[in-house]
Amino acid sequence: MVRLGQRNVLRGLSLALAPGERLAVVGPNGAGKTTLIRALAGLIRPRRGHVSLRGSRGPDEPAARAGLGFLGHRPSLYPHLSARENLAFAARLHGTTDAARIEAALEVVGLAADANRLVRDYSRGMQQRLGLALALLPEPDVVLLDEPDASLDAAGVDDLPVMIDALAPRAAVLFSTHDERVAEALGARVVRLAAGRLTEDPREAPAPKPPPLQALPLPRPPGFARAVRAMIAKDARVEWRAREQVPTLLMFTLLAAVVFDMAFIAALGSEVAAVAVGVLWISVLLAATLAGTRLFTTEFERGTLDGLLVAPVDPSGIYLAKFALLAIETAFVGVAQLIFLSLLLNVSLFQASTIGAVLLAAAAISAILALQSSLVVNARAREMLMPLLAIPPAVPVLLAGVGITLGALEVTPAGQQGAWFGLLAVVAVVFLTLGTVLYPQAARA
């Protein structure tokens, strides 16, 4: 049983697919087809019952997901990467760098000539073809496709069985569709989903009783560190091309420094130092909050978060990759503000201790915000919730940062800096630990 909110969306379902079998789930809008496929992929946790892949563990296990291909309602594509780069990233998450397999997939789905174009310039039909290539790239044993014919023209629908036969010939394929002609083209057995229940198509021959499930050897998932590095590299490349965060944050920090420089042009040295410290740490907090608000939301809105969660990667790696990206962005903005304030306000902020404080504080704040961003990604008011949630746990970070900076400027005793650095380290470790433990549970709630 799968329950969403107060409604039981799926009830009393039992399905079994043999290797090479194809099953079409047909039903009207709202029947629960997408929910069924998401539950089978492990993106929704059933209240009762279980999902078994390859006769062994369910999709909660990264090793089981190594043999799973998935195409959701929206293809899991990064618009600022090319088709080849999207496939290469997916391959790295599955622990392979087989360039020949990538080129073969591009050829089969008819995108070889456009492989280096950014996906944002693709038509919807081309994106759907690329989404199919992503789902079939690891040569999976089980393939789950949510309306694979969506946005495809007649030629594309005719090509569906060719794509599947070429890239995943032995896979058990379950797909949803509104069009029974798609099921016929794929030679699939048809079941109907209505009001959360499945029924066999009366025109179909009764399904043969499946053989007893046997546990098969599971593919070896990629190394944890390797997958995290791949996600960090992907995020950095996307940010470099999209320029959605860092340029805006840098402009904000520069304007803040200029405005306070103009306002305190006649201030005394101690007053300028106090202002510089305040501007520095408010800039760090605001930059992290603004960037952190969109950290998981962007992945969620474009459908790529599902692709990450279905990949054979421990979800804690997704949290750590997002934390690393936010920490790098926040540290970059903080160090830039150190330079701006030192030059404009003529305050010697650019010291080893203040640089260290900014770097460690960036890690601590990013650990906090990455966790909060991951937990509120489904909330409607997340843009309003994030600042409210960020400030209370960030207070110790701000106090420590201010204390270290004042010590560097000799406003307070420098001997207190060690305790402040210790506080920053404790906050960073605590929230990093919480994030790696809590996010895997929240991601599949």
Give residue 27's Cα distance to chain centre: 30
Question: What is the mean predicted confidence (pLDDT) over 187-206?
Answer: 69
| Structural fold of domain 2-200 | Rossmann fold (3.40.50)
Question: What is the mean predicted confidence (pLDDT) over 70-74?
Answer: 92
Query: What is the Cα–Cα distance from 97 to 293, expressed in whole angstroms?
Result: 33
Backbone angles phi, psi at 25, to 5 degrees: -100, 115
Query: What is the Cα–Cα distance from 410 to 403, expressed in whole angstroms?
Result: 10
Query: What is the Cα–Cα distance from 204 to 223, expressed in whole angstroms?
Result: 44
Average pLDDT taken over every residue of the chain:
84
Cβ pair 73, 79 in contact under 8 A: no
Q: Are strands 142-146 and 172-177 parallel, antiparallel or unpaired?
A: parallel
How much of the chain, in percent, has pLDDT values that exceed 70? 88
Residue 220's pLDDT is 62
Question: What is the mean predicted confidence (pLDDT) over 321-329?
Answer: 95
Strands lying side by side in the sheet with 22-26: 68-71, 142-146, 172-177, 22-26, 189-194, 197-200
Question: What is the mean predicted confidence (pLDDT) over 194-203?
Answer: 65
Mean pLDDT check: name the lowest of 45-59, 61-75, 155-169.
45-59
Residue 263's pLDDT is 62
Over its C-alpha atoms, the chain yields an Rg (Å, rounded) of 26
DSSP sequence for 209-233: PPPPP---PPPPPPPHHHHHHHHHH
Confidence of residue 95 (pLDDT cuts 50, 70, 90): confident
Whether 211 has a pLDDT exceeding 60, the answer reads no
User: What are the CA-CA distances from residue 45 to residues 12, 41, 159 (Å)?
Assistant: 15, 9, 33
Whether 3 has a pLDDT exceeding 70, the answer reads no
Whether 393 has a pLDDT exceeding 60, the answer reads yes
Residue 273's pLDDT is 80
> Domain residue spans in the chain?
2-200, 224-443
Confidence of residue 115 (pLDDT cuts 50, 70, 90): very high
Select the more confidently predicted residue: 275 or 268: 275
pLDDT in tens, 351-370: 999 999 999 999 999 999 99
Residue 246's pLDDT is 76
Question: What is the mean predicted confidence (pLDDT) over 324-346?
Answer: 91
